[in-house]
């Protein structure tokens, strides 16, 4: 209950900030629609020359684009805005105020800034998934839909855990402003199924920077390509990733010297 109240408070503050710059919000939404149009046009160009891409049809690629935008929006709305603030707080010592709060510091760092207007992107992402699945003509069962939702959540947790580890490195390397540049760049690999990439890159986007686990894998579940053992494995990996990220975060906090040192 306390956590929900905090989330509500953060959300209200960030809504007020967004309303203070209404013109920027409208411009950002229009730009986002423009990029969506470009992405769909790109897919149309690709499929005007081929019927499948890595074994996936146009409808399935549109659904995959929806999943990618869903995960990417969560990162852009919650993760990226807080990265710069966190890095700065380590250098100027203002991280002291976060640590002294009677709330988990990792939680505060994650949710203190929220790009509220990105909720529009979540709606677009869900529409793309529904439209793409309908275009593909695949018959989906309730179990497949539930498995898809579960793996989308676990994939996001894995990416989030990786982000926590990357920003926690700032505790060891104070000037580490580019700690998420690689993650941001490789997130774009999630626009396409992992099967289109060469083996070496497929290994990277699946196991090293597990973008495919957050995008391709949930769609594979929706297509009925995964067995229960694989689903449990990915769920287990998400729990292990979050546990490891928490350990790295706590270890980093012990190295933080504060503004007084």
Least confident of 92-96, 119-123, 142-146: 92-96
The burial of 163, by beta-carbon neighbours within 10 Å (0-12 exposed, 13-18 middle, 19 or more buried), is given as buried
Q: Is the pLDDT of residue 260 over 60?
A: no
For the chain, percent of residues with pLDDT exceeding 90: 8
Q: Are 146 and 159 in contact (CB under 8 A)?
A: no
| Residue 166: closest CA among 247, 248, 96 | 248
Count CB atoms within 10 A of the CB of residue 47: 16
d(CA 242, CA 252): 15
Contacts of 136 (CB under 8 A, 6+ apart): 57, 59, 60, 63
Q: How many CA atoms lie within 13 A of 212 on its CB side?
A: 15
Q: How far apart are CA 82 and CA 27, in angstroms?
A: 22
Q: What is the pLDDT of residues 166-178, one digit of tens each?
A: 888 888 876 666 6
Domain residue ranges in the chain: 2-255
47 vs 80, higher pLDDT = 47
DSSP 225-248: ---HHHHHHHHHHHHHHHHHHHHH
> What tens digit of pLDDT does each residue of 213-244 get?
888 888 888 888 888 999 999 999 999 999 99
State pLDDT tens for residues 13-33.
667 666 666 677 677 778 878
DSSP secondary structure of 26-56:
HHHHHHHHHHHHHHHHHHHHHHTS-S-BTTB
Mean pLDDT of 108-130: 82
């Amino acid at each position: 209950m306390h956590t929900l109240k905090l989330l509500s408070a953060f959300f209200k503050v960030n809504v007020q900030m967004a309303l203070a710059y209404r013109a920027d919000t409208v411009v950002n939404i229009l730009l986002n629609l423009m990029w969506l149009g470009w992405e769909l046009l790109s897919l149309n160009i690709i499929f005007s020359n081929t019927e499948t891409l890595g074994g996936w049809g146009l409808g399935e690629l549109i659904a995959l684009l929806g999943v990618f935008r869903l995960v990417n929006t969560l990162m852009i709305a919650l993760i990226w805005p807080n990265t710069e603030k966190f890095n700065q707080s380590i250098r100027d010592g203002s991280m002291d105020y976060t640590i002294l709060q009677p709330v988990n510091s990792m939680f505060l760092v994650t949710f203190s800034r929220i790009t509220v207007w990105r909720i529009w992107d979540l709606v677009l992402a869900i529409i793309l998934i529904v439209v793409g699945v309908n275009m593909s003509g695949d018959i989906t069962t309730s179990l497949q839909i539930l498995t898809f939702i579960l793996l989308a959540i676990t994939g996001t947790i894995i990416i989030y855990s990786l982000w926590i580890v990357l920003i926690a490195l700032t505790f060891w390397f104070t000037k580490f402003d580019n700690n998420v540049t690689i993650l941001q760049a490789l997130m774009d690999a999630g626009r396409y199924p992992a099967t289109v990439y060469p083996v070496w890159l497929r290994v990277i986007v699946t196991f090293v920077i597990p973008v495919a686990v957050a995008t391709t894998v949930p769609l594979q579940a929706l297509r009925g390509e995964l067995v229960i053992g694989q689903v449990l494995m990915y769920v287990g990996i998400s729990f292990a990733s979050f546990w490891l990220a928490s350990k790295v975060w706590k270890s980093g906090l012990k190295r933080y010297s504060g503004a007084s040192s």
